[in-house]
A and B are shown apart, each in its own frame.
Chain A
């Protein structure tokens, strides 16, 4: 999930009886699965929650270019370089879709980006982990995009129309790159040298738990979930989605011939699911607070890009104005 912990600002969900006529009308539309559109009335808390969630999602696409950008100059073949460049380009495009969806709610993208740069807005914790080998490009494609897709497939049915439509477009592109990521790892495991196989296993060892953390806190510790579910912004709980991800990923892992760094992982016949070990929640919350391995570098790089580029954006605006004046004259 690219938006892991989104405040709703709501302490307790209102019953239909407690709602104003407008609120009731809104909730009934939600319950009837009618999409909410930009011009429809919506509770202010719904609007603000969506702005927070969609901007977090957009920021994640943009910050998420950095761990991959770290290897794009070092990709080991022309084919892999092209794949990675195409993927990064798509991510920038996804960021743009999402900022546009967010702006339909009345938010301003520059203001929201300022919040990212001042540390007030979050992005997915996963992008605070460093990419230390080429295998990480495969593992990020397979595990990280895989986790994102599990979430985004569900978000295609989210109640806010513009967000839902952005998710439909994004999922189409994303699943292509996810398969490429897996194929990179499969190539290294099946045709690579021992050093390459070790590289793949090491990458999975480092990224497995951070990928599971992408689904957010456990349901017991997810105070905002109930309201997000009632509004049908979220359609399934963090733990449900995490379980789905583990269930679908372990067979892929076995096909690779790799292992996960989790001694408690085992198939549970009675549940029909994999059981898995406890996530290191202290690490998760530290990363979200800004104390992960790359939080400082990621935000600093993005802030510097926008600050260093100010004169370019100003030039574009000034030039456009001059052209307008010329055309008017």
Chain B
């Protein structure tokens, strides 16, 4: 594969992951545990969908086949989506949502930090802007892991249930694709090994602060968001998200 193709796949990974996580946060609208959380969940979602738009616009330019960012978001099937499996998982209760958010934020932060010095200035620019937002996301979700982990017996019980529910999907955060490794070597992408190390440390620190056990490293298990092999949740998520552009293909919104 050439660099251009690697780069497109990488941009889709970043864009699709942010978009799918943003979509999951939209599902909380009106249903959060406090008004402050309505605001915060929508705020984080808004940041992520905005970032997704930036990555997908760039991907569309490189693809150069007449599709724009909206076409990529609303007219690709699940087999073409490149998001991490973690973010397509259902929201569950607030403990599941916050665990997912934290595990993603910790990865996202490491990736963006690496990308701020990308040799592709467009990527470096988007990453620098996104990193400001994700610094806030990570602080917030980390604090919720602590509050729930060391809050009441009930909240701790729920955290102890939530972590193993989603942990297996973290395997994708510890390993990049061959394409990413190639891109990292030429200075385009964040180095997957450094991302994995930073992620592991961040997660271990927050978990340890409230004595939440860190499970053993997750194993490879057949599915892979990077290769478009998703769980059964993504198809339904996309059916809901894409229905209008699909139902009215000639429409202008």
Binding site for B on A (CB under 8 A): 62, 65-66, 68-69, 72-82, 85-86, 88-89, 92-93, 95-96, 99, 134, 184, 187-188, 191-193, 195-196, 301-302, 304-306, 308-320, 322
**Cβ of B158: which chain A residues have Cβ within 8 Å of it?**
311
B252 touches A192 (CB 8 A): yes
- Which B70-106 residues have C-beta < 8 A from chain A? 70, 73-74, 93-94
- Which B150-180 residues have C-beta < 8 A from chain A? 150-152, 154-155, 158
A95 touches B147 (CB 8 A): no
Secondary structure class of chain B's binding surface, majority of residues? helix
Binding site for A on B (CB under 8 A): 22-23, 26-27, 29-39, 42-43, 45-46, 49-50, 52-53, 56, 69-70, 73-74, 93-94, 146-148, 150-152, 154-155, 158, 240-241, 243-245, 248, 250-253
B253 touches A85 (CB 8 A): no
**Cβ of B150: which chain A residues have Cβ within 8 Å of it?**
319, 322
A156 CB to nearest B CB, Å: 23
Which of A66, A78, A187, A319 is within 8 Å of B53, CB to CB?
A78
A309 touches B32 (CB 8 A): yes
Distance between Cα atoms of A91 and B158 in the complex (Å) = 30
Q: Which 5 A-B pairs have the closest CB atoms?
A: A309-B33, A315-B151, A69-B29, A315-B155, A76-B244
**Cβ of A62: which chain B residues have Cβ within 8 Å of it?**
35, 38
Nearest residue (CB) in B for A113 is B35
Contacts A76-B244, A196-B248 given: A86-B31 contact, CB under 8 Å? Answer: no
Distance between Cα atoms of A163 and B26 in the complex (Å) = 30
Query: Of B39, B152, B245, B251, which is in contact with the most chain A CB atoms at under 10 Å from its CB?
Result: B251
B244 touches A74 (CB 8 A): yes
**Cβ of A92: which chain B residues have Cβ within 8 Å of it?**
35, 38-39, 42
**Cβ of A65: which chain B residues have Cβ within 8 Å of it?**
29-30, 38
A195 touches B251 (CB 8 A): yes
B252 touches A188 (CB 8 A): yes
B251 touches A78 (CB 8 A): no
Distance between Cα atoms of A313 and B45 in the complex (Å) = 21
B26 touches A73 (CB 8 A): yes
**Cβ of A80: which chain B residues have Cβ within 8 Å of it?**
253
Show 15 A/B contacts (Cβ-Cβ < 8 Å), sorted by A.
A69-B26, A74-B243, A76-B244, A76-B245, A76-B248, A77-B74, A78-B49, A78-B52, A85-B46, A134-B253, A193-B252, A195-B248, A309-B32, A312-B37, A322-B150
B210 CB to nearest A CB, Å: 9
A134 touches B244 (CB 8 A): yes
B245 touches A315 (CB 8 A): no
Contacts A62-B35, A89-B42, A92-B39 given: A309-B26 contact, CB under 8 Å? Answer: no
A314 touches B42 (CB 8 A): no
Contacts A72-B26, A82-B50 given: A88-B244 contact, CB under 8 Å? Answer: no
B176 CB to nearest A CB, Å: 26
Which of B94, B146, B241, B245 is within 8 Å of A73, CB to CB?
B241
Query: Of A80, A96, A318, which is in contact with the most chain B CB atoms at under 10 Å from its CB?
Result: A318
A163 CB to nearest B CB, Å: 18
Contacts A76-B245, A96-B39, A314-B152 given: A82-B34 contact, CB under 8 Å? Answer: no
Q: A77-B70, A80-B253, A82-B53 known; 9 other A-B pairs, CB under 8 Å?
A: A68-B29, A74-B244, A76-B251, A89-B42, A188-B252, A192-B252, A311-B154, A315-B148, A315-B152
Distance between Cα atoms of A305 and B250 in the complex (Å) = 38
**Cβ of A85: which chain B residues have Cβ within 8 Å of it?**
22, 26, 42, 45-46, 49
Which of A78, A89, A193, A319 is within 8 Å of B69, CB to CB?
A78
B155 touches A69 (CB 8 A): no
A89 touches B30 (CB 8 A): no
